[in-house]
Amino acid sequence: MAKVVSGSRARRSRTIATPTADDPIEGLMTKLLLELGEEPGRNGLLNTPKRVAKAMRFMTQGYRQDIDHLLNGALFPIEYDEMVIVKDIDFFSMCEHHLLPFFGKCHVGYLPNKKVVGLSKIPRVVDAFSRRLQVQERLTVQIAETLKKKLNAHGVAVVMEARHLCMMMRGVEKQNTVAVSSSMLGVFRTQQQTREEFLKLIRGSSVKDGG
């Protein structure tokens, strides 16, 4: 049987249970817990606002990353004119509509124009844009356009595959749906053969698969 609490008692318990916080995100989280009918002062939730504030700043650290600084010293002149691909890049992001995570794999390819970028920098660029409030379509385009501009490449291709918790936990509640988005720039857009080669390579077996 549900326990009924009188209005004055409920207001009193809400006031007592509210911890003070100098961090604005902590303060907002405390208010959210109260609105959900919880008691922020109880054991299990006592440090939750602080933890959430820390987690949110980590998951949105891309806002505080500078792409030029990230790529500084990692562009190398080279006479190499074949496709470079970094695939199966794990990423996570936050849906800007519901503040729920989406996560999956990102595949990036480019055709060099007399210079290449250090391979580890491509996942870092993916992280810099994904660790923000995002929609998958814009995220895909931002990665592609940034690499095209910074590398002056003949072409850049990006394909992202993701599961969205906003579709899995609410709304249509489809747990096995995968959203796929792509951005094809330069020769990947204008030359069908180049585009098909990229798509074939990212679908092929990986080193980790033994193939």
Q: Where are the domains of the chain?
A: 8-59, 67-205
Rounded-to-integer distance, Cα 22 and Cα 128, Å: 28
Catalytic residue among 97, 137, 175, 196: 97
DSSP-assigned letter for residue 26: H
172: CB partners within 8 A, 6+ apart:
none
Rounded-to-integer distance, Cα 125 and Cα 62, Å: 9
Catalytic residue among 61, 96, 175, 196: 96
Say whether 69 is catalytic.
no
CA 154, 147, 69, 88 torsion-angle sign: negative
Q: Which residues pair with 116 in a beta bridge?
A: 76
Say whether 97 is catalytic.
yes
Q: What per-residue confidence (pLDDT) applies to 186? A: 99
Catalytic residue among 26, 106, 107, 164: 164
Residues with pLDDT less than 70, the chain: 1-21, 205-211
> What CATH number should be reported for the domain whose range is 67-205?
3.30.1130.10
Q: Which residues pair with 159 in a beta bridge?
A: 107, 182
Say whether 35 is catalytic.
no
Q: What per-residue confidence (pLDDT) applies to 208? A: 63
- Helices 24-35 and 48-59 pack at an angle, to 10 degrees, of 120
Say whether 79 is catalytic.
no
Q: What per-residue confidence (pLDDT) applies to 21? A: 65
Catalytic residue among 98, 145, 191, 197: 98
Say whether 96 is catalytic.
yes
Catalytic residue among 26, 134, 136, 154: 136
52: CB partners within 8 A, 6+ apart:
25, 26, 29
Q: Which fold has domain 8-59?
A: GTP Cyclohydrolase I; Chain A, domain 1 (1.10.286)
pLDDT in tens, 98-137: 999 999 999 999 999 999 999 999 999 999 999 999 999 9
Burial of 72 (0-12, 13-18, 19+ CB in 10 A): exposed
This prediction's pTM: 0.87
C-alpha pair distances (Å), 206 with each of 86, 98, 183, 209: 11, 34, 22, 5
Tell how far CA 153 is from the center of its chain. 24
DSSP-assigned letter for residue 64: G
What residue ranges in 34-173 does DSSP mark as E strands? 75-77, 84-95, 101-111, 115-117, 133-134, 155-164
